[in-house]
Amino acid sequence: MKKLHRSSRPTAFLALIGLLTLAPHTSAQQATTVRLGFFPNLTHAPALVGLERGLFQKALGNVKLDPRHFASGTTLTEAFAAGQIDIAYVGPGPAITAATRGMPVQFLAGASEAGAVLVARKDTPIRSYKDLSGKIVAVPSLGNTQDISLRHLLSEQGLKSRADGGTVTVVPVPPADTVSALAGRRADAALVPEPWGAALEAKGHRVIGTEKTVWRGGKYPTTLVIVNARFAQANPALVASFLKAHASAVAFLVKSPAAAQTAVNAQMDKLTGEKLDVRVLQRAFARTRFTTILDPEAMREYAILNVNAGYARSVPDLAPFFRK
């Protein structure tokens, strides 16, 4: 791990974090609806399985589930900050930044680990991380988990983004649009969560960074479950019920991968209007680990990367944000 440094990264993301402390909160009473945020990504598969199999609604009983899917961590965090979401599947980067900025967020459980790869366009000479100098690299959104991972990879290679005075152009592209972005030569490479990495590979593009070389040998959280702390305080039974359903979804993913792939594909089709090739989905599954465990040490190290990436000024004590 490299020594911490501070940088100033003025982004809309940091600005919106402040919204939550100002936004009126309406869920400090018994909820009649649980508003759930997630992405149509394989790294959010527990959410997809929970929806497809009806696990969440069954666990919540008469309380209505209101699922809302988003294209990136930025848009999801905007909704969370505005008090429009109660529980969310989100990457560690936005979750840690939210905690750092004083948002009433609580970390409930892990959801997935690894499941992100760096893919280079097939007609480029890119063969290694160092070859990214002078190139355009896509990430799902600025400040999200893959963006922070990319900036760590660049730092390890002695490279920087152009915004930091370096030679690598980092651009936000929604994961589902990376196939067209590389086909249209609007990006030379992309660090994306699965199944979009496997989908790019199926188009002939090259994986130059696997889920294990991105960081920590693949033992890093990619998605976790968070809740608005005020909602959790007012609705402890609902949160406990949701977590049981989440654990059931993770167990299904681990114990019945073939059936889980079918469920994930069915939900992806409903959300995006497109089914994935079975071989693409199988490859993406092999690169992703599903778990309810959230490693505090991995989160702390991620907080350091968050500082190094310029999205936070200090490493917070994350212990108070973990659900007791």
Looking up tokens 């209101």 gives: 66
Write down the pLDDT at residue 19. Answer: 42
Among 22-26, 57-61, 148-152, which stretch is predicted with the lowest mean pLDDT? 22-26
Write down the pLDDT at residue 29. Answer: 59
Number of Cα atoms under 13 Å in the Cβ half of residue 267: 26
Among 106-115, 159-168, 306-315, which stretch is predicted with the lowest mean pLDDT? 306-315
Res. 23 pLDDT band, cuts 50 70 90? very low
Q: Are 290 and 250 in contact (CB under 8 A)?
A: yes
For residue 269, the one-letter residue type is D
Res. 6 pLDDT band, cuts 50 70 90? very low
- Average pLDDT for the chain: 89
Host H or E run for residue 56: helix 55-60
- Angle (CA) 92-90-41 rounded to 5° is 120
More confident residue, 24 or 158: 158
Which domains are delineated in the chain? Answer: 33-115+220-321 (3.40.190.10), 116-218 (3.40.190.10)
Q: Averaged over 44-58, what is the pLDDT?
A: 98
Res. 27 pLDDT band, cuts 50 70 90? very low
For the cut 90, the answer to whether the pLDDT of residue 72 exceeds it is: no
Write down the pLDDT at residue 286. Answer: 96
pLDDT tens sequence across 113-134: 999 999 999 999 999 999 999 9
Predicted TM-score (pTM) of the model is: 0.87
CA 265 – CA 28 distance, rounded (Å): 36
pLDDT tens sequence across 294-323: 999 999 999 999 899 888 888 889 999 998
Number of Cα atoms under 13 Å in the Cβ half of residue 56: 22
CA 263 – CA 46 distance, rounded (Å): 10
More confident residue, 23 or 36: 36
| Burial label, 270 (beta-carbon count in 10 A; 0-12, 13-18, 19+) | middle
Strands 221-228 and 169-172: unpaired
Number of Cα atoms under 13 Å in the Cβ half of residue 78: 10
pLDDT tens sequence across 227-264: 999 999 999 999 999 999 999 999 999 999 999 999 99
Q: Averaged over 3-18, what is the pLDDT?
A: 42
